[in-house]
Structure 1
Amino acid sequence: MKATIWHNPRCGTSRRTLALLEDAGADVTVIDYLKTPPAAETLAALYARAGLTPRQGLRMKQDGAGALADADDATILAAMAADPILIERPLVETEKGVRLCRPMETVREIL
């Protein structure tokens, strides 16, 4: 099975999710989204496939997220693309779907 993880190596949940994917034998493509941020259109497609709104994918604990409290989806997506630390992680995509893996065990739904 192929999987793509939008990963932050400094995040424990992201590291543990990556380990779950590897332990399951997935052929994993790792994208360090802080170094290679996804475009707003990519994020929109991932969230749509996951059944999430961009607001649900916003890392609310992050400085600057509060300023987006009343923003529309396009504004949130543009902010995430411009400052990817605002993206909640990890996002994982397989042929079975996309999940925001918080908690990390959520990844099992798409393995």
Structure 2
Amino acid sequence: MKYAFTQIISRIQWCRLQQQLQSVTPDERAGWRAEEAGLVDALGCRDRIDFMRGEHRSQFTRYQCGLEDGQALLRLSASTSRGTTRMEGLGPAPLTTPARVNSRPSQAPQSMPVESRR
């Protein structure tokens, strides 16, 4: 679970950094704020989709993106800690060795002259 928190907090910091760039337009800045709000809500197990859809329609998609990404990271972390994503019983894949022909490593055939038939 610690991994998910770290990832979400890193994304929140990235959103805040993007808001501080001078080249960002006011609409882009609002989008980064909305995405940050979605990530924060995911960490706090809140869901303000209805509020954001009604009050901040222009930024709703970015809020939803942050919320869903945060929730997905939390779910993934929870399932990984329970071991449900591991493939039980499968060990490491065996190393493959190159094909051998007559006890020598196989190689691409050398070019052969071809006679044309007419």
- How would you bin the TM-score normalised by the shorter chain? under 0.3
| Alignment TM-score, normalising by the size of structure 1 | 0.26
Which of structures 1 and 2 has the bigger CA Rg?
2
Structure with bigger strand share is: 1
| Alignment TM-score, normalising by the size of structure 2 | 0.25
Structure with bigger helix share is: 2
Higher relative contact order (CA 8 A, sep 6+): 1
